[in-house]
Amino acid sequence: MQRLTQFTQLRQIGQSIWLDNLSRAMLEGGELKRLVDAGEVTGITTNPSIFRNAIVNGASYRADLERLKREEADPERRYERLAIADVQAACDVLRPVFDVTRGDDGYVSLEVSPQLAHDADGTIAAARRLRAEVARDNVLIKIPGTPAGVRAFEQCVADGISVNVTLLFSLGQMNAIFDAYLTGLERLKAAGGDVKRVKAVASFFMSRIDSLVDKKLDAIATPEALALRGKTAVAVGKLAYARYGEVFGSPRFAALRAAGARPQYLLWASTSTKNPAYDDLLYVTPLIGAQTINTVPDVTLAAFRDHGKAADTIGLDLPAARAAFAAVERLGIGHEAIGTQLRQEGVKLFDEAFTALLQAVS
Residue 166: φ, ψ to 5°: -110, 170
- Cα 82 from Cα 253, distance rounded (Å): 39
- Provide the β-strand partners of residue 165: 143, 202
Told to judge if 142 belongs to the known catalytic residues of this protein, a careful annotator would answer yes
CB 80 within 8 A of CB 54: no
Residue 105: φ, ψ to 5°: -145, 180
Strands 43-44 and 15-19 come out as parallel
What's 113's DSSP letter? P
- Cα 138 from Cα 131, distance rounded (Å): 10
Q: Which residues contact 67 (CB under 8 A, 6 or more apart)?
A: none
For the chain, the farthest-separated pair of C-alpha atoms sits apart, in whole angstroms, at 62
Query: Assign residue 160 a region: left if phi > 0, alpha if psi is -120 to 50, beta otherwise?
Result: left
- Cα 282 from Cα 234, distance rounded (Å): 8
* Identity of the residue numbered 97: V
CB 180 within 8 A of CB 159: no
User: Which one, of 23, 47, 79, lies nearest residue 362 by Cα?
Assistant: 79
For 16-67, the DSSP string reads EEEES---HHHHHTTHHHHHHHTTS--EE---HHHHHHHHHH-GGGHHHHHH
SS3 14: coil
* Choice among 33, 69, 142, 238 that is catalytic: 142
- Cα 219 from Cα 228, distance rounded (Å): 12
What count of other Cβ atoms lies within 10 Å of the Cβ of residue 253?
A: 20
Q: Which residues carry out catalysis?
A: 142
